[in-house]
Structure 1
Amino acid sequence: MVVKSVDGRELRSFRFKDEDEGQEVRAVERRILLETLASELPPDAVQFSSKLAKIERSETGKTLLELVDGTQLSAKIVIGCDGIRSPVAKWMGFSEPKYVGHCAFRGLGFYPNGQPHQPKVNYIYGRGLRAGYVPVSPTKVYWFVCFNSPSPGPKISDPFVLKKQAVELVRNWPSELLSIIELTPDDTIIRTPLVDRWLWPAVSPPASAGGVVLVGDAWHPMTPNLGQGACCALEDSVVLARKLVGAMKSGTTSVEDALRSYGSERWPRIFPLTIRANFVGSLLQWENPIVCSVRNNFIIPKLVRLGPILEHTNFDCEPLQ
């Protein structure tokens, strides 16, 4: 990992193995991850682009789902893994995720003849503004630009406008970042407000209600400052699958008990991670020039140690079978 200032000066470089033998970074394109997971299922098991229009519980205890295309489903178990704006979470009584004060542009730079960057995570820190990039394949480089904003602002879908705004924010920053942004295809660039939801004990609803349970961002949206959003969703999935399999095999544990056990086990990990990600983001988005100077010239070069910072990534899900 390499950390730079906006003028390209290297503030610090790390090798993850030197900081913690158990650490590594694997950048994976989301599309590839989803396709890989889906390929392990029977061909007709996944129906994409199926938006939920209505959800309710029947008198028999089953959950009734109605999709926007009119399809109606009746299910004993519903796993709501439908993202930050989850209609399932809303139905269960969860509050809307809260805007944290900054937005992010994100995209995938495409190099048809091969990207030139080393397999390193690169961060660039400015004042109230930061950026980063990391190769995700021989031809693609993921990048982001995160900036402070008092409000989420209007939704913009025009890729030309999005790219122009992103470039304007970092126009005088290192040229390699600008090059990656310029080489980003229109269909991969997005702008999103960063949000999270803090699952306060005794205040937030439980992760499950009857045969309905939440997973990933639908339950615990968090800011991307620790890089743990998708990771936690995968952890959720592993734990939930084990709980359900155990209930089905034992015959003595009900599905509802298994879902409650899943929520109880996952909450102690999810809640502090959400808060920590929020706190780290606030620190990285400092605007005060004196504070930023101290950060760049003292805190990052002399004080930061990756081992303690990355301790949260050490989750052992045990061998998958």
Structure 2
Amino acid sequence: MLSSHSFLQNSPFLSTTRLLESKTRPFLSYNFRPSSFTICSSSVQSQKQDVVIVGAGIAGLATAVSLHRLGIESVVLEQAESLRTGGTSLTLFKNGWRVLDALGVGDYLRTQFLEIQGMAINTEDGRELRSFKFKEEDESQEVRAVERGILLETLANQLPPDAIRFSSKLAKIDKGGSGETLLKLTDGTQLSAKIVIGCDGIRSPIATWMGFPEPKYVGHCAFRGLAFYPDGQPFEPKVNYIYGRGVRAGYVPVSPTKVYWFVCFNSSTPGPKITDPSVLKKQTGELVKNWPLELLNIIDVTPDDTIIRTPLVDRWLWPTISPSASTGSVVLVGDAWHPMTPNLGQGACCALEDAVVLARKLASAIKSEPKSVENALKSYETERWPRIFPLTIRANLVGTLLQLDNPLVCSVRNNIVIPKVVRLGPILEHTNFECEPLS
């Protein structure tokens, strides 16, 4: 592994904390659109950077922390004014926790979130179809629902001061001279980066620039929320799933006072964007109004500002057809590369895996010639693609099967497939991922 000292002494790259002397000159700045840019007159503060990460979500921060632990500093550009700590929670299985341990934050997070012991599957009228205990299926399994905001703050706290630059929205990306990449921001700043890592989410402008199509809507939308019980939530530490016809729901304790829930429903289109929380709560209640009272009570005690509605999308990375994950020294990580539906609980886990795999390969290559960096990025894609592509398809198929509304099919699912056929052990095999500490 590279120490910080050896990297700075031996690498042809400058430390990202060293900037060239700032200078001002006219240039064209751009407001980003998927395929066109609006030109306006401005001035630019030209800066040289070694590694620039676009996006301070889970993928971006995990990548920055991974590189930092390997002695490589980076600048993280985030378009928002602060960390986007809103939203609800996400479920992390053992592969996610192994990465968090490698990043040095696993034990800290464990103190705040309950370990989930198992799962139960019920029908909309309250009949239990099947229950599992995770440790009985896999002794090494670890499952916890984690608040997204706390995870982001924990990762951000591992980085040096000023490593994250807020209010830094990408306007344009372009190739510069000497193999560098030019990043133009909406505030007029221009950066010249030796390596650019796109962690800018599902609607990634960098992925668009690299030729990736927009993620495809899969025909389902989901309401999500985080219920709050100031005097303590009453539920056992297990995931509870409820399956209906074309609608399914679930809830899981996150901490002693919070419970995450979701309601997924079929919709031919993503529908209009709705931000009024009272409307979102009302629509959710109408979908499950005759379902178990326990679920309705959870939704009822959910603070309005935690309820969101999102269309579910994914992108299948077809071999030889889809663009490469890297172009020169620009590479994609997490949702920017492989958005997947949440049906396997692997979106965040895979983003964390991406981060450590990419960081290790860059750490081995960055002290060599620039071509070695490009080879490292290709090696990252070669290693990650065989894992990401099948998981994306599997998550899609699971969601499609669970969202079927045909009465006969649902009857077979509830009376034969789930009670007699499904085995949890093989389903969880995809959570096997070895991750050594980063140092």
**Shorter-chain TM-score: what band?**
over 0.9
Q: Which residue in the other structure is 2:197 paired with? A: 79
Q: Deviations for 1:213-262, whole angstroms, at most 9, x for unmatched residues?
A: 00000000000000000000000000000001011246696111111111
For the residues of structure 2 that align with 1:240 and 1:21, how far apart are their CA atoms?
29
Q: 1:50 to 1:252 in 2, by over 3 A?
A: closer
Q: Which residue in the other structure is 1:203 paired with? A: 321
Q: Secondary structure at the match of 1:107?
A: strand
Equivalent residue runs for 1:97-176 within 5 Å: 97-176=215-294
1:267 to 385, 392, 396: 385
Q: Which letter does structure 2 place at the counterpart of 1:198?
A: W
TM-score by length of 1: 0.97
Which stretch of structure 1 is more off in the superposition, 286-295 or 20-29?
20-29
Q: Secondary structure at the match of 2:392?
A: helix
1:257 to 375, 389, 400: 375
Q: Secondary structure at the match of 2:140?
A: coil
Q: Which residue in the other structure is 2:142 paired with? A: 24
How far apart are 1:201 and its partner, in Å? 0.8
For the residues of structure 1 that align with 2:293 and 2:417, how far apart are their CA atoms?
25
Q: Deviations for 1:91-115, whole angstroms, at most 9, x for unmatched residues?
A: 0100000011111111111112221
Q: Which residue in the other structure is 1:300 paired with? A: 418
Q: 1:148 to 1:66 in 2, by over 3 A?
A: same
For the residues of structure 2 that align with 1:106 and 1:276, how far apart are their CA atoms?
22
How far apart are 1:67 and its partner, in Å? 2.2
Q: 1:274 to 1:183 in 2, by over 3 A?
A: same
TM-score by length of 2: 0.71
Q: Secondary structure at the match of 1:310?
A: helix
How far apart are 1:43 and its partner, in Å? 1.8
Q: Which residue in the other structure is 2:335 paired with? A: 217
Q: Which residue in the other structure is 1:248 paired with? A: 366
1:60 to 152, 166, 178: 178
For the residues of structure 1 that align with 2:188 and 2:231, how far apart are their CA atoms?
45
Q: Which letter does structure 2 place at the counterpart of 1:45?
A: A
For the residues of structure 1 that align with 2:311 and 2:252, how far apart are their CA atoms?
21
Q: Which residue in the other structure is 2:112 paired with? A: none
Q: Which letter does structure 1 place at the counterpart of 2:174?
A: E
Q: Which residue in the other structure is 1:92 paired with? A: 210
Q: Which letter does structure 2 place at the counterpart of 1:201?
A: P
For the residues of structure 2 that align with 1:183 and 1:65, how far apart are their CA atoms?
44
For the residues of structure 2 that align with 1:293 and 1:318, how far apart are their CA atoms?
45
Q: Which letter does structure 2 place at the counterpart of 1:135?
A: P
Equivalent residue runs for 1:30-69 within 5 Å: 30-69=148-187
The higher radius of gyration belongs to 2
For the residues of structure 2 that align with 1:262 and 1:318, how far apart are their CA atoms?
17
How far apart are 1:69 and its partner, in Å? 2.8
For the residues of structure 1 that align with 2:126 and 2:291, how far apart are their CA atoms?
7
- Between the two proteins, what is the percent identity of the paired residues? 79
Q: Deviations for 1:258-306, whole angstroms, at most 9, x for unmatched residues?
A: 1111111100100011011101111111101111112112211111110
Which stretch of structure 1 is more off in the superposition, 96-105 or 47-56?
47-56
Equivalent residue runs for 1:282-301 within 5 Å: 282-301=400-419
Which stretch of structure 1 is more off in the superposition, 87-96 or 51-60?
51-60
Ranges in structure 2 where 5+ consecutive residues have no aligned partner: 1-118
For the residues of structure 1 that align with 2:426 and 2:167, how far apart are their CA atoms?
40
When you count strand as a share of all residues, which structure comes out higher? 2
For the residues of structure 1 that align with 2:254 and 2:185, how far apart are their CA atoms?
34
Cα RMSD for the two superposed structures? 1.4
For the residues of structure 1 that align with 2:152 and 2:370, how far apart are their CA atoms?
34
Q: Secondary structure at the match of 1:112?
A: coil
For the residues of structure 2 that align with 1:137 and 1:59, how far apart are their CA atoms?
51
For the residues of structure 2 that align with 1:75 and 1:249, how far apart are their CA atoms?
16
For the residues of structure 1 that align with 2:370 and 2:378, how far apart are their CA atoms?
15
For the residues of structure 2 that align with 1:8 and 1:257, how far apart are their CA atoms?
54
For the residues of structure 2 that align with 1:54 and 1:183, how far apart are their CA atoms?
43
Which stretch of structure 1 is more off in the superposition, 64-73 or 303-312?
64-73
1:234 aligns with 2:356: no
Ranges in structure 1 where 5+ consecutive residues have no aligned partner: none
